[in-house]
C-alpha cells in the first residue's frame, strides 16, 4: 500500500493561525480526493509496521488548514477495538450546537501532527458535544460524539478557527484546574 503524498504544515507556519473559510457545494474533486487521501494517511499512520517503515507519527485527525488549504473541512480516522478497522469521518463546515458541562482531558497530553515537539500540559475539552455539519453533497447532518472522539472533533474544529492545542495550555500553570476535570 502506497502512502498518500500529503504535506503537513509545521506549527511555525502562520497559516495555521488563520480562520478557514466555509466550503461551497458541491465539493470539488480535488478536495474530495484530498479528504480520502488524508484518511488513508491517518489510517496508515496508526499501523505500527507502516508507521515505522515511513517514519510516521500516529494521527487520528487532520484539518485541511494543516495541508495548506483554508477550507472548513476536517477528517478523522478513529480506530475501533478490532485493529485496522476504522470509523471514517469527513466533516464540512462544522458547528458545535451543544456540549456537556463535564470537562475532560487527555492524560498523556494532546498531540498534533503539526506540532513536532513534546508539550507539557492539559487542554480542557467537553466530554460530549453535538456537531452540525455537511457531507460532500451539501446535506446537513448532526452527530453526537463523546470521550476520545469528542476531543478529536474539538481539536480539529479549533484548527479551523486558527487555534492550536498548545494555544489552550496555560504557560504559567500547564495543569491548571486538572482537579476539576476527568482524565481519559
What residues are labeled active site?
Answer: 156
What letter would DSSP give residue 58?
-
Instruction: Name 99's bridge partners.
Output: 129
Whose CA is closest to 3, among 33, 42, 59, 61?
42
C-alpha cell at 67: 495541508
What are 43-48's contacts with CB under 8 Å, separation 24+?
43/77, 43/79, 43/84, 43/86, 44/1, 44/3, 44/4, 46/77, 46/79, 46/86, 47/84
Cβ–Cβ < 8 Å for 145, 92? no
Amino acid at each position: 500500500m502506497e502512502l498518500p503524498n500529503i504535506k503537513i504544515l509545521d506549527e511555525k507556519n502562520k497559516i495555521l493561525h488563520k480562520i478557514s473559510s466555509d466550503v461551497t457545494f458541491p465539493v470539488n474533486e480535488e478536495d474530495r480526493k484530498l479528504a480520502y487521501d488524508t484518511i488513508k494517511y491517518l489510517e496508515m499512520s496508526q499501523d505500527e509496521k507502516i508507521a515505522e517503515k515511513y517514519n510516521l507519527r500516529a494521527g487520528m485527525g487532520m484539518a485541511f488548514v494543516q495541508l495548506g488549504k483554508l477550507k472548513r473541512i476536517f477528517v478523522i480516522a478513529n480506530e475501533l477495538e478490532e485493529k485496522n478497522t476504522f470509523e471514517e469521518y469527513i466533516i464540512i463546515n462544522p458547528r458545535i450546537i451543544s456540549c456537556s458541562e463535564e470537562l475532560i482531558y487527555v492524560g498523556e497530553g494532546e498531540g498534533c501532527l503539526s506540532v513536532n515537539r513534546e508539550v507539557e500540559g492539559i487542554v480542557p475539552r467537553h466530554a460530549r458535544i453535538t456537531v452540525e455539519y455537511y457531507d460532500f453533497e451539501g446535506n446537513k447532518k448532526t452527530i453526537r460524539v463523546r470521550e476520545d472522539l469528542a476531543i478529536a472533533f474539538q481539536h480539529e474544529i479549533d484548527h479551523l478557527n486558527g487555534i492550536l492545542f498548545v494555544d489552550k495550555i496555560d504557560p504559567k500553570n500547564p495543569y491548571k484546574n486538572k482537579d476539576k476535570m476527568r482524565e481519559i
